[in-house]
Structure 1
Amino acid sequence: MEIAMIDNFEKFNGGKTGLVEQEILRQIDLGNFRRNSLLPSERELAKQLGVSYMTVRRAIGKLVDDSFLTRVQGKGTYVRGDVPLHRMQQTLGIVVPAWETPEHADLMMILTAIAGENGVLPKFHLCRSWEDRTVVDAYESCDYLLLVPPAPLADLPEEMLVRFRAGTTPVVVLGLDATPYGLDSVTGDACTEAGIRELRRLGHCRIGLMTQVEERGGKLLRQTETFYRNWRLRMLERFSAKEVDRMEIRIPVKAYELPHQAFYDYLYVNGKDLPFTALMLPLAVAWGVISAAADSGLAVPQKLSILSIGDRQEARFYRPRLSLVRVSYRRHAELAFEALRRRMQEPGLPPRCFTVEPELVPGETVSPLLPPDNL
């Protein structure tokens, strides 16, 4: 890591030593020198900062006296792990899957804004799986941790789960209910119920679901397992298990590929022979599905109503205007900070799942079914 060379010493009444102290504390605040991490050697710091070795040594000695740093004989100087939070910039580790999507970009922008409003410095970490060392690094180097799961929570290694539950660093999971695993979480699970209720109000009872799936170790994994489970429970109220199975369209998508093409290909070929009158799907794939309907001559919403679930800043610019159950990312972020504050104030509280209330946004992709499907 490069550190900017210090100049204009004469303008700082603390002199060179004071400026070196200030720069080291700044790097700690930024998270570049993490708690319990080894600092560069004093000679290396002197070279990077453009000052003498003795200036750095005096500055480090002062920070040791002030309980920011500690010297370990034969090893070097470390940032102390027990520096009180009020004495340095607090950092928020945010772990997101390594594959970039518009949803992740939106969420990262919003979390950055909310973190700033709360006086916390966000540090983003991209990971590919729970085994990725990045997750542990984020946990160990930050004061708080938000997780957007890169894989099902059931795949969380037990060692990592035990560490998260220990409470040393408060952890909140975004997007999945993590309370069965002993962790706080924020979800938009109520969106499924809201979407089905709205479609039934408009006369639709045969409501299909498009889900992204992946086969791993002989098991079928859905990207939105809770979404699927809630939908299935509601469909079983009126239809047999066999009929409900037919109303779920499972779209295999290879790892690290955007799903739009796979969703497009399926609907383009099979769109005129669907066992439902309305379809629910993640907003992330809406473009692919609506494009396939247009290209195949499947009229939306006259022949098929499409209700999207999710949030995206530019969704209001889509044409046709999407009928949408919106689960606000900003509200996700606000509730995540509420969960973190709760955990800091009372560490022994049982885990809680905070729910983002959905908002129905009218559009042009859903219409009443005439005559209504009364099954």
Structure 2
Amino acid sequence: MANVKYTKVVRLIERRLKHGDYTLGGLPGEERLASEAGVSRMTVRRALDHLEGEGILNQQTNGRRTVNWDRLGPQSMVRVAFLAPAYDSTLINNLRVATSRAVDECGGMLRPIDYVHWDDPVVLDVFEAFDGVFLVPQADKIPDRVMKSLAGQSHRVVVLDSDMSEFGVPSICCFPYVFIQRMLDKLAELGHTQIDCFNTQPQTNMIQKRIWQWELWHSTHQTTGELINEPVEAYQNAADHAYEVMSKRLASGYKPKAMICLTEHAALGAYAALYDHGLKVGEDVSLMSIGEGAGGQFLRPSLYSLQAPDPKPYVRYAYNWMAQKDRSQQWNGPLLMQPPEPLFFEGTSIGPFVTD
């Protein structure tokens, strides 16, 4: 292509298409493109005509141009969305990076998209517009209309960091809730018979199942423990809230001996509160946590935590389903994909039971 003025607009549109920028909402009008590119509408029109000639754009009978996504690469471009709540989360960020790398290795395109609540129009729009969706659910109850789209598998949606397999939804769970019992077993081996449970995350179905596992373990082992479950409001900092909750409990006379934190942010807040009240983690109190990559291994003493496996093998399996041309093809394989054995970072935040 000759180095003429309209080629700048062609390159701009091609870059955007390869990143999935116009998957939702479609191609903007000539006037807006001209304003964004700093050129005239005539130049934009020439660029659009060129892309239409290349087969990348199609012109409909109403004059509107649509994208022929299959012409963007040497092979059919599979467009995948990573749909997640619009709040900051270390775990979600790590999942986004791992999913992006796996999809890229498979030759697809991943587009991160945020949603604020389940009635956000973007949720169903994403289901309709993309070839497949990796969905991170938020804590609120999923409306029936969204559940219908998920359970029917008419849209290729795979859930991350949650288990919705009971509803027929393929799910990837990096931290199986049953591993809570393995964490409790470790503390019991050190002589602890009173093991508390601490949570400040919003009450997702995965958090609730972790709590049930903690309760079940105590029931079968005839041990004791206190549940401190004070979920933070959505879009608030769980670590800050954990510090405030634990500080108040310690100031009122709470004396933990061993504790499992259901998220790493809860552990970080508890760490600071225990330190400020003169208690030494690993000596006075044994602390374990789900490890979400929030930096617990850099604490001193380092946080003994359950680590996430590399999710890429599960993501690749899900991607292959999303990439199938036959949209009537149902999921073939286990609905719940999770590691068979726990992987621990053996930090120094736990120790043997010490009597007063």
Q: TM-score, normalised by structure 1?
A: 0.77
Contact 2:162-2:205 within 8 A present in 1 as well: no
Distance, in Å, in 1 between the alignment partners of 2:91 and 2:167 is 25
Measure how far apart 1:184 and its partner are. 0.7
| Distance of 1:84 and 1:168 partners within structure 2 | 25
CA deviation after TM superposition for structure 1 residue 312, in Å: 0.5
Please, which of 265, 273, 278 is the counterpart of residue 258 of structure 2?
Answer: 278
CA distance in 2, matches of 1:319, 1:53: 59
1:1-375 paired onto structure 2 within 5 Å: 9-10=1-2, 24-34=13-23, 38-41=26-29, 48=37, 52=43, 55-56=46-47, 58-59=49-50, 61-63=52-54, 66=55, 68-74=56-62, 76-79=64-67, 87-152=75-140, 155-187=141-173, 188-189=175-176, 190-212=178-200, 224-239=207-222, 247-271=226-250, 273-274=253-254, 277-281=257-261, 282-312=263-293, 314-328=295-309, 331-342=310-321, 344=323, 347-349=330-332, 352-356=335-339, 357-369=341-353
Equivalents in 1 of 2:265, 2:179: separation in Å?
Answer: 15
Change (3 A) 1:87 1:44: farther
Shift of 1:366: 0.4
Mapped partners of 1:84, 1:169: distance in 2: 22
User: Structure 1 268/39 Cα, relative in aligned 2: closer, same or farther at 3 Å?
Assistant: closer
Distance 1:160 1:85, change over 3 A: farther
1:61/1:176 Cα in 2 relative to 1: closer, same or farther (>3 Å)? Answer: closer
Deviation at 1:203, TM superposition (A): 1.9
Structure 1: any 5+ residue segments left out of the alignment?
Answer: 1-8, 215-219
Shift of 1:309: 1.1
Tell me the distance in 1 between the aligned counterparts of 2:46 and 2:72. Answer: 26
Q: In structure 2, how many angstroms separate the alpha carbons of the residues matched to 1:19 and 1:263? A: 51
Q: Which has the higher strand share?
A: 1
Q: Deviations over 1:184-218 (max 9, x none)?
A: 1111114312211211222223221112266xxxx
Tell me if structure 2 keeps the 8 A contact 1:111–1:333: yes
Structure 2: state its 5+ residue gaps: none
Question: What CA distance in whole angstroms lies between the structure 2 residues aligned with 1:327 and 1:228?
Answer: 19
Residues of 2 paired with 1:142 and 1:130: CA distance? Answer: 18
Q: Is the 8 A contact 1:31 1:141 kept in 2?
A: no
Distance change (3 Å), C-alpha of 1:161 and 1:75:
farther
- Describe the SS at the equivalent of 1:237: helix
SS at 2:128 equivalent? helix
Partner of 1:4: none
Q: Secondary structure at the match of 1:28?
A: helix
Instruction: Report the alpha carbon displacement of residue 34 of structure 1 after superposing the two structures with TM.
Output: 2.1
Q: 2:131, 2:323 within 8 Å by CA — same for their partners in 1?
A: no
The alignment partner of 2:221 has SS state of coil
The structural deviation recorded for 1:352 is 0.7
The Cα offsets for residues 85-120 of structure 1, whole Å up to 9 and x where unpaired, read as: 974433321122211133333333333333332323
Task: Give the TM-score normalised by the residue count of structure 2.
Answer: 0.81
Deviation larger for 346-355 or 288-297: 346-355
Name the amino acid aligned to 2:50: A
CA contact (8 A) 2:162 2:206 kept: no
Identity, % of aligned positions: 21
Aligned-residue offset at 1:260: 2.1
Compare 181-190 and 308-317 and name the one that shifted more: 308-317
RMSD of aligned residue pairs (Cα, Å): 3.4
SS in 2 for 1:78: strand
CA offsets 1:220-276 (integer angstroms, 9 cap, x no match): 777711211222211111348xx56xx111224233211223322332343385586
CA distance in 1, matches of 2:8, 2:236: 48
Shift of the 54–138 alpha-carbon distance from structure 1 to 2, 3 Å rule, reads closer
CA deviation string 1:48-94 (max 9, x = no partner): 4666477346435535xx4x544333352223588899744333211
CA separation in 2, counterparts of 1:59 and 1:293?
65
Q: C-alpha distance in 1, partners of 2:172/2:95? A: 13
- In the other structure, the counterpart of 1:5 is none
